[in-house]
């Protein structure tokens, strides 16, 4: 077995490895880590600048950022390293002294900056618009929304890519040897290669390869682990249940909360644990640019009642809701909340009194269910943590999710996420809650749980305005049904009046299509 012995001598010369090990650690490993870390830090600074430039409104910032990125991402790393290292050698010597080491770091940083800039840009742009909308609906200012939710989420999303970039820099650092490093500046590859020449076999290079893997493999696994933990949170308290199990889970919670209600206020005897507010909408107009979306809407919502808004797609239903908490600004007309004009209020104040639940939940994915509910209590209402936690736990119990309070949204079903979103809106103690097609994004078997919860809130006296395609729900639960078409209220009345005795041709046609 001569060839086997030859292979062993070539790759597994233990003595050669042992000889090179000390310098591999004290010189190679040290320099590789310095080169990779320094170029990653400088690359992050440069990348942030490039990211901000590339999403700027000004093309004079966008174009240079684009050109830079195209060039430094497009060139092979070795070309950049040689061009910078040799092309600027004289200036480099004047500034940094004889060693090409700093120019190597500079070249690696310029390359890393191009990649990291793209990583940051896509991270910021990948945070859904709904996140900022949810922040605003929870009465956060734009700055608070960015600081508390959008930027941390963007950074979390790019964390794995940044670690990958660091790994890339660890590997690319081996190219700096082409610039001709001093003996004390050699990185892992160069130490291994030099020793390979001395011993005449590849064992030192194999050891160098092992060193690279020792740095990169644990990092890859660590970042995957951190990413998963951040996304899913602790999964205590059971896995995602089936939709049918969710309905009974919720029925139990609703019953428990009704049992705790004082007899004088219980569901059976005339309800009203919530202090529902009233809305009076007069001549409301709204336009997106030249597109008139609401045209003189008039509507009264009595305290503690459920109003369901129905109508064809594009008729302005969502826009009407968004005017009621000023996520969009009306063009004309007025809305009175308990007799006070909402246009005279600060939007953040208004949104404490008028909560909103969205079609796509818009929960904050990096926070547990409990934190989602607590966030605005601590950050906006300024409650001490303990009080906020008590309230948040009670609201989660209301929606049947006490056992899943530590789950992140990613570990909950759509129906459960929507119930957390309802708990989050309830926690602010609003007088009115707006629901914007909240079951449209749910699987059919999850719809019932959410609708049951909403029906229960209605029975307990919450004023609710609900945009929905669930005609059965509207018929059963609504005190008032409003039919909109082309930006106008065409008919409004009791469910019986709307569904059994429609007056206008448009409503008759609509019902014929959807029922
Ligand atoms: N941000 C926006 N910018 C421009 N136009 C918009 C915007 N949002 C909605 N629109 C337009 O305004 C009109 C009304 O939209 P709106 O979402 O209020 O209707 P809708 O009745 O809720 O419809 P759907 O049931 O499909 O959600 C539509 O023509 C829509 O294209």
Q: How far are the Cα atoms of 259, 293, 435, 511 from residue 313, in angstroms, in the given order?
A: 40, 12, 16, 13
Give the whole-angstrom CA distance, residue 345 versus residue 314.
28
For ligand 1, atom 28, the nearest C-alpha belongs to: 314
Predicted structure pTM score: 0.76
Which of 318, 356, 467, 487 for mutating ligand 1's site (highest number of atoms within 8 Å of CB)? 318
Report pLDDT for 254: 62
**CATH number attached to the domain at 3-232:** 1.10.3720.10
3-state secondary structure 134-178: HHHHCCCCHHHHHHHHHHHHHHHHHHHHHHHHHHHHHHHHHHHHH
Ligand 1 atom nearest residue 467's Cα: 22
Give the largest Cα separation in the chain, rounded.
98
Q: CA–CA distance from 462 to each of 9, 198, 361, 362, 471 (Å)?
A: 81, 83, 20, 22, 20
Count of other CB atoms within 10 angstroms of residue 392: 27
User: In which residue are the tokens 């009595």 written?
Assistant: 302
| Ligand 1 proximity of 317 Cβ (cutoff 6 Å) | yes
| Distance separating alpha carbons of residues 319 and 286, to the nearest angstrom | 8
Does residue 315 line the site of ligand 1, with CB under 6 A? Answer: yes
- pLDDT of 269 reads 34
pLDDT, one tens digit for every residue, the chain (515 residues): 688 888 888 888 889 899 999 999 999 999 999 999 999 999 999 998 999 899 888 999 999 999 999 999 999 999 999 999 988 988 988 888 888 889 999 999 999 999 999 999 998 888 998 999 999 999 999 889 988 998 888 888 888 889 989 999 999 999 998 888 888 899 999 999 999 999 889 999 999 999 999 999 999 888 888 777 766 655 554 445 565 666 666 666 666 655 554 433 434 333 347 889 999 999 999 999 999 999 999 999 999 999 999 999 999 999 999 999 999 999 999 999 999 999 999 999 999 999 999 999 999 998 999 999 999 999 999 999 999 999 999 999 989 899 999 999 988 999 999 999 999 999 999 999 999 999 998 888 889 889 999 999 999 999 999 999 999 999 999 999 999 999 999 999 999 999 999 999 999 999 999 88
Within 10 angstroms of residue 466's Cβ, the number of other Cβ atoms is 29
Tell me the ipTM for this assembly.
0.96
Q: Whose CA is nearest to atom 24 of ligand 1?
A: 313
Dihedrals φ, ψ of 288, to 5°?
-100, 105
Whose tokens are 């139990």? That residue is 252
Q: Is the CB of 305 under 6 A from ligand 1?
A: no
Alpha-carbon gap, residue 428 to 7, rounded angstroms: 71
Q: Whose CA is nearest to atom 1 of ligand 1?
A: 288
Cα 97 to ligand 1 centroid, rounded to whole Å: 64
Q: Is the CB of 468 under 6 A from ligand 1?
A: no
168, 164, 186: which is closest to 177 by C-alpha? 186
**Rounded to whole angstroms, how far apart are CA atoms 58 and 118?**
18
Question: Which residue lies with its CA nearest to atom 5 of ligand 1?
Answer: 288
User: Whose Cα sits closest to atom 4 in ligand 1?
Assistant: 288
484: CA distance to ligand 1 center in Å?
Answer: 13
pLDDT at residue number 99? 86
Rounded distance between C-alpha atoms, residue 165 and residue 196, angstroms: 29
360 touches ligand 1 (CB under 6 Å): no
pLDDT of 243: 59
Q: What are phi and psi of 292, to 5 degrees?
A: -75, 120
Distance CA 46, CA 110 (A): 8
- Write the DSSP symbol of residue 196: H
Angle at which helices 89-96 and 77-87 pack, to 10 degrees?
70
Q: Which residue among 130, 285, 286, 293 is best mutated to probe the pocket of ligand 1, counting the most ligand atoms within 8 A of its Cβ?
A: 293
Nearest CA to ligand 1 atom 25: 313
Cα–Cα distance, 44 to 166 (Å, whole number): 10
What pLDDT does 295 receive? 97
For ligand 1, the distance from its centroid to the CA atom of residue 314, given in whole angstroms, is 5
Q: How many CA atoms lie within 13 A of 101 on its CB side?
A: 17
The CATH architecture one would assign to domain 279-367+431-514 is 3-Layer(aba) Sandwich (3.40)
Residue nearest to atom 6 of ligand 1 (CA): 288
pLDDT attached to residue 408? 92
Among residues 100, 70, 73, 71, the alpha carbon closest in space to that of 88 is found at 100
Cα angle value 181/187/188 (rounded, 5°): 145
Residue of the nearest CA to atom 10 in ligand 1?
288
User: Which residues in the chain are classed under CATH 3.40.50.300?
Assistant: 279-367+431-514
Distance 138 CA to ligand 1 centre (A): 22
Note the pLDDT of residue 57: 82
Could you give the count of Cα atoms lying within 13 Å of 176 in the half-sphere of its Cβ? 33
Say if residues 104 and 179 touch (Cβ distance below 8 Å): yes
- Closest to 272 (Cα-Cα) out of 460, 454, 453: 460
From the list 469, 437, 281, 282, the residue with the least C-alpha distance to 356 is: 437
Q: Is 319's C-beta closer than 6 angstroms to any atom of ligand 1? A: yes
How many CB atoms sit inside 10 A of residue 360's CB?
A: 18
CA of 404 to the centre of ligand 1 (A): 35
Q: Which segments of the chain belong to CATH 1.10.3720.10?
A: 3-232
Ligand 1: which atom is nearest the Cα of residue 311? 21
Radius of gyration of the chain (CA): 31
Q: Please state, in angstroms and rounded to a whole number, the distance separating the CA atoms of residues 106 and 35.
A: 9
Indicate which residue's Cα is closest to atom 3 of ligand 1: 288
SS3 132: helix
> Which residue pairs from 319-322 have beta carbons closer than 8 angstroms and sit at least 24 positions apart in sequence?
319/286, 319/293, 319/294, 320/281, 320/284, 320/286, 320/294, 320/467, 320/484, 321/356, 321/434, 321/436, 321/465, 321/467, 322/436
| C-alpha torsion 134→136→137→138, nearest 10 | 90
Of all protein residues, the one whose alpha carbon is nearest to atom 18 of ligand 1 is 316
Ligand 1 lined by 316 (C-beta under 6 Å): yes
């Amino acid at each position: 077995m001569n060839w086997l012995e030859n292979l062993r001598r070539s790759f597994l010369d233990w003595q050669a490895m042992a000889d090179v090990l000390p310098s591999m650690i004290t010189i190679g490993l040290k320099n590789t880590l310095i080169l990779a870390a320094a170029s990653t830090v400088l690359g992050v600074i440069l990348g942030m600048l490039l990211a901000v430039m590339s999403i700027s409104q000004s093309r004079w910032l966008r174009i240079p950022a684009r050109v830079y990125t195209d060039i430094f991402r497009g060139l092979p790393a070795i070309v950049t390293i040689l061009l910078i290292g040799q092309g600027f050698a004289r200036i480099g010597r004047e500034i940094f002294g004889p060693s090409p080491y700093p120019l190597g770091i500079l070249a690696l940083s310029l390359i890393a900056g191009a990649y990291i800039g793209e990583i940051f840009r896509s991270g910021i742009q990948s945070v859904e618009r709904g996140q900022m909308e949810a922040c605003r609906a929870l009465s956060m200012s734009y700055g608070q929304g960015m600081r508390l939710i959008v930027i941390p989420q963007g950074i979390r999303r790019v964390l794995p890519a940044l670690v990958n970039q660091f790994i890339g820099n660890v590997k690319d650092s081996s190219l700096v040897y082409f610039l001709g490093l001093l003996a004390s500046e050699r990185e892992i590859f160069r130490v291994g290669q030099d020793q390979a020449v001395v011993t005449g076999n590849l064992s030192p290079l194999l050891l160098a390869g092992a060193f690279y893997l020792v740095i990169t493999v644990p990092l890859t696994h660590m970042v995957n682990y951190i990413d998963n933990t951040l996304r899913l949170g602790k999964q205590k308290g059971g896995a995602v249940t089936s939709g049918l199990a969710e309905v009974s889970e919720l029925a139990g919670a609703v019953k428990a909360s009704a049992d705790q209600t004082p007899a004088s206020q219980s569901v059976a005897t005339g309800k009203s644990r919530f202090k529902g507010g009233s809305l009076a909408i007069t001549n409301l107009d709204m336009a997106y640019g030249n597109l008139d979306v609401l045209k003189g809407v008039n509507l009264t919502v009595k305290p503690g009642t459920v109003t369901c808004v129905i109508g064809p797609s594009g008729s302005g239903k969502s826009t009407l809701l968004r005017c009621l908490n000023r996520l969009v600004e009306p063009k004309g007309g007025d809305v009175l909340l308990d007799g006070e004009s909402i246009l005279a209020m600060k939007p953040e104040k208004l949104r404490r009194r008028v909560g909103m639940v969205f079609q796509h939940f818009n929960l904050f994915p990096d926070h547990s269910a409990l934190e989602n509910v607590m966030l605005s209590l601590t950050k906006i209402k300024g409650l001490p943590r303990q009080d906020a936690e008590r309230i948040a736990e009670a609201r989660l119990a209301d929606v049947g999710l006490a056992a899943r309070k530590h789950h992140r949204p990613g570990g909950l079903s759509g129906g459960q996420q929507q119930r957390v979103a309802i708990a989050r809106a309830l926690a602010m103690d609003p007088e009115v809650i707006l629901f914007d097609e909240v079951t449209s994004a749910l699987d059919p078997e999850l719809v019932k749980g959410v609708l049951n919860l909403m029906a229960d809130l209605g029975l307990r006296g919450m004023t609710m305005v609900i945009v929905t395609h669930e005609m059965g729900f509207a018929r059963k639960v609504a005190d008032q049904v409003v039919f909109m078409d082309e930006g106008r209220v065409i008919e409004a009345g009791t469910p019986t009046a709307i569904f059994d005795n429609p007056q206008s041709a448009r409503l008759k046609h609509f019902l014929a299509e959807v029922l």
